[in-house]
């Protein structure tokens, strides 16, 4: 990619760590690894990263909180748009996973250290199988043909670079159109509720319909189903 600090590895512990390390020398970098031995997901979970998936971290130096908020919303849109190009119609499962027919296709992790932001994307591309305990699906399973992983990475990056300049309200509207409006059971202040997702507002609060036209606002949804 022209003028871009693009690093590709056969194997890394985690592309996230390598991206933070490289941000000491560069303002913006992309790190891709064919596999990872200590890939990480959200909430301290491990991310299994065998050959066949896209494991990409994009690092941005010295950014503010508004930038991180925007990144959280535009990344799933950028990935969905690329999937769309390959005729894969997936949905955002809150906050920013991508699911296809009830199975996870992509996970997104945003980490911030001081003012450096590293965005990690784990997209299931050419894996033919997953460990039994993981409810996952890949592009090859959906479409029955192998994909070019680097091409997908470049397309996602280009989309991100365009979306980053878009107006926040506009992208929030697109994000809300693309989230799965599912019924969720959740816990709030030690009580259990069931509600249908309506939308996410500008403060990242989730608006849920819990019946009788009641609107519920929460920041962190802890799914119970």
Task: Please report how close the Cβ of residue 110 comes to ligand BTN at its closest, in angstroms.
Answer: 9
Q: Which chain residues interact with ligand BTN by CB under 6 A?
A: 14-16, 36, 39-42, 45, 47, 55-57, 97, 107-109, 120-122
Task: Please report how close the Cβ of residue 169 comes to ligand BTN at its closest, in angstroms.
Answer: 26
- CA-nearest of 106, 110, 7 to 67 is 110
Rounded distance between C-alpha atoms, residue 56 and residue 75, angstroms = 12
| Smaller CB separation from ligand BTN, 41 or 94 | 41
| Smaller CB separation from ligand BTN, 62 or 135 | 135
Helix 65-85 × helix 168-178 angle, to 10°: 50
Task: Please report how close the Cβ of residue 53 comes to ligand BTN at its closest, in angstroms.
Answer: 8
Task: Please report how close the Cβ of residue 57 comes to ligand BTN at its closest, in angstroms.
Answer: 5
Q: What is the DSSP letter of 205?
A: P
| Smaller CB separation from ligand BTN, 53 or 195 | 53
Task: Please report how close the Cβ of residue 71 comes to ligand BTN at its closest, in angstroms.
Answer: 13
Rounded distance between C-alpha atoms, residue 165 and residue 153, angstroms = 19
| Smaller CB separation from ligand BTN, 178 or 209 | 178
| Smaller CB separation from ligand BTN, 14 or 138 | 14
41 exposed, middle or buried (CB, 10 Å; 0-12, 13-18, 19+)? Answer: middle
- Residue 137 in contact with residue 123, Cβ under 8 Å? no
């Amino acid at each position: 990619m022209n003028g871009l600090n693009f690093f590709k590895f056969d194997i890394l512990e985690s592309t996230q760590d390598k991206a933070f390390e490289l941000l000491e020398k560069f303002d913006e970098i992309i790190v891709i690894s064919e596999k990872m031995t200590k890939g990480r997901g959200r909430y301290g979970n491990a991310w299994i990263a065998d050959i066949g998936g896209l494991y990409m971290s994009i690092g941005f130096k010295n950014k503010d909180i508004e930038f991180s908020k925007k990144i959280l919303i535009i990344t799933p849109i950028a990935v969905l748009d690329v999937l769309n190009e390959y005729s894969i119609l997936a949905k955002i499962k809150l906050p920013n996973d991508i699911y296809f027919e009830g199975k996870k296709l992509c996970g997104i992790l945003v980490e911030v250290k001081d003012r450096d932001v590293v965005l990690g994307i784990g997209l299931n591309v050419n894996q033919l199988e997953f460990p039994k305990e993981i409810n996952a699906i890949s592009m090859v399973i959906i479409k029955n043909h192998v994909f070019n992983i680097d091409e997908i990475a470049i397309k996602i990056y280009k989309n991100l670079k365009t979306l980053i300049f878009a107006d926040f309200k506009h992208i929030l509207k697109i994000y809300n159109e693309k989230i799965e409006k599912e019924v969720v059971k959740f816990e709030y202040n030690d009580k259990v509720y069931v509600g249908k997702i309506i939308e996410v507002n500008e403060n990242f609060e989730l608006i849920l319909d819990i019946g009788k036209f009641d609107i519920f606002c929460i920041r962190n949804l802890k799914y119970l189903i």
